Amino acid sequence: MRRGNLFILSAPSGAGKSSLIKALLEQHGQDGSLAVSVSHTTRQTRPGEENGVHYHFVAVEEFKALIAKEAFFEWAEVFGNFYGTSRLAVEEQLAKGIDVFLDIDWQGARQVREMMPDAIGIFILPPSRQELERRLIGRGQDSSDTIAHRMSEAVSEMSHYDEYQYLLVNDDFDDTLDKLRAVVLSARQRLASQQQAHSALLDALLAVK
């Protein structure tokens, strides 16, 4: 069976990563071929966020115990909180042939690339700094201190854009969503994936009579 593709999506906070992944899964994930990895985090839950859905919310001690158990595929400290991707969850989905999206920062992306050079990196940029700030404020879920902190970190996050293979500017949402979908589709047509998916067909077509 075909192994799933691993996608790494990074962007400064507020550029639209979570909304894009959510829309991609709603529109194109119905057949179960696409999933988003639910990270562990020590940050506070935002209004409307559900444990186990948006994140697994854990205390710092629990997070450190998971690091010690090597439960994380990657982990990093972002904006003063810990974030990590569960090794088991990602591995299980890839083994079932499901394409998995990681919504992680550039530090985590580096760790994943080291372990899985085939992972497909996508970086999302906002159309301007002003628009980024408008979206962070418009989301209405962070305090003004948190928003100021995230804006000040945005340039540093964005400076890593050239470590990714794909670069999308999220100006018009639906247009960006189409482009993201195109990246997923093209990844699925890569030789290694197709050889696994169509091994029986290839055998039949190439059989010597």
Binding of ligand 5GP by 33 (CB under 6 A)? no
Q: Beta-carbon neighbour count of residue 189 at 10 Å?
A: 9
Task: Choose the one of ligand ADP, ligand 5GP, ligand GDP, none that binds residue 107, judging by a C-beta under 5 to 8 angstroms depending on kind.
Answer: ligand 5GP
Task: Give the x-and-dash track for 107-136 against ligand 5GP (CB under 6 A).
Answer: xx----------------------------
**Is residue 99 within 8 Å of 111, Cβ to Cβ?**
no
Distance in angstroms (rounded) separating the CA atoms of residues 77 and 87 = 17
What is the torsional sign of CA 163, 125, 35, 181? negative
In terms of Cα–Cα distance, which of 170, 173, 133 is closest to 153? Answer: 133
Instruction: Confirm or deny that 29 is annotated as ligand binding.
Output: no
In terms of Cα–Cα distance, which of 25, 49, 143, 42 is closest to 84? Answer: 42
Task: Please list every residue from 86 through 145 that binds ligand ADP, using CB under 6 A.
Answer: 135, 138-139
Report in angstroms how near the CB of residue 207 gets to ligand GDP at its nearest.
Answer: 49
Task: Choose the one of ligand GDP, ligand 5GP, ligand ADP, none that binds residue 48, judging by a C-beta under 5 to 8 angstroms depending on kind.
Answer: ligand GDP
Q: Which stretch binds ligand 5GP (CB under 6 A): 75-83, 122-130, 170-178, 201-209?
A: 75-83
Closer Cβ to ligand 5GP, 51 or 195, answer by number? 51
Report in angstroms how near the CB of residue 200 gets to ligand 5GP at its nearest.
Answer: 37
**Is residue 40 within 8 Å of 84, Cβ to Cβ?**
yes
In terms of Cα–Cα distance, which of 165, 63, 43, 52 is closest to 113? Answer: 165
Q: Which stretch binds ligand GDP (CB under 6 A): 15-23, 87-95, 123-131, 162-170?
A: 15-23
Helices vs strands, H then E, count in the chain: 9, 9
Interface positions with ligand ADP (CB under 6 A): 11, 13-19, 135, 138-139, 170, 173, 176
> Which residues sit in the known binding site for ATP?
11-18
